[in-house]
Amino acid sequence: MLSPQELRKQQRQTLRQARNNLSHSTQQEASQALIEQYATFIKQLDLTPKRIALYISNDGEISPQLLCHQLWSQGISTYLPILDKQALRFNLYNQDSQWQDNRFGIPEPVNGHVLAGQELDIVFMPLVGFDRQGGRLGMGGGFYDRTFEGKNPSQTPLLIGLAHDCQEVDRLPIERWDIPLNGILTPAQIILTDR
């Protein structure tokens, strides 16, 4: 029997491989599908967000870049995560953003307006795996978990995972520090949890 840590490591490896095996055209179609899924999601929950966090895709993650352009056209301010010790803050992201690489070599916008996570309306999060109960398997750094530690699921921001459908599993092994998602958007599904 695998320990929860070993199971998470095994799932992380398998799911990363699955998303990296997706063709370029499948990745592009998935990114395009997020725009329609977002519109349906917003209408379904009757939301009017003003500040939304996204991420820069990496390692086969579904790209929110086309969605970002759609948000800009609607006058919605977008933010990207920036490292703040072992947690995250969120820096304004627009066409005028200047960049620097963080300690992991990931580009971060600089010279923008920085917000704490609780000041956002929605945080779209990358993930390696998800389940329908709101479980999220990330890359293992715990940055989002530390950022939203102690957050009541009914409080803003809404934490929404973005993923390819191949990243769904029946049930993730959840640790006490794992922050649950309020929902997941994939190219084919909108999953809302009770959290």
pLDDT, one tens digit per residue, over 138-161 is 998 899 999 999 888 888 999 999
Which domains does the chain carry? 4-192 (3.40.50.10420)
For the chain, the three-class secondary structure string (H helix, E strand, C coil) is CCCHHHHHHHHHHHHHHHHHCCCHHHHHHHHHHHHHHHHHHHHHHCCCCCEEECCCCCCCCCCCHHHHHHHHHCCCEEEEEEEECCEEEEEEECCCCEEEECCCCCEEEECCCEECHHHCCEEEECCCEECCCCCEECCCCCHHHHHCCCCCCCCCCEEEEECCHHHECCCCCCCCCCCCCCEEECCCCEEECCC
Q: Summarize the confidence of residues 172-177 as an average pLDDT.
A: 85
Which residues sit opposite 159 in a β-bridge?
Answer: 123
Torsional sign, CA 23, 32, 135, 120: positive
| CA-closest candidate to residue 127, choices 117, 116, 135, 115 | 135
Q: What is the pTM of this model?
A: 0.95
Looking at the chain, the whole-number percentage of residues with pLDDT higher than 70 is: 99
Using alpha carbons only, give the angle 86, 92, 97 rounded to the nearest 5 degrees: 110
Tell me the per-residue pLDDT of 54-91, one tens digit each, with 9 for 90 and over. 999 999 999 999 999 999 999 999 999 999 999 999 99
Structure confidence at residue 195 (pLDDT): 56
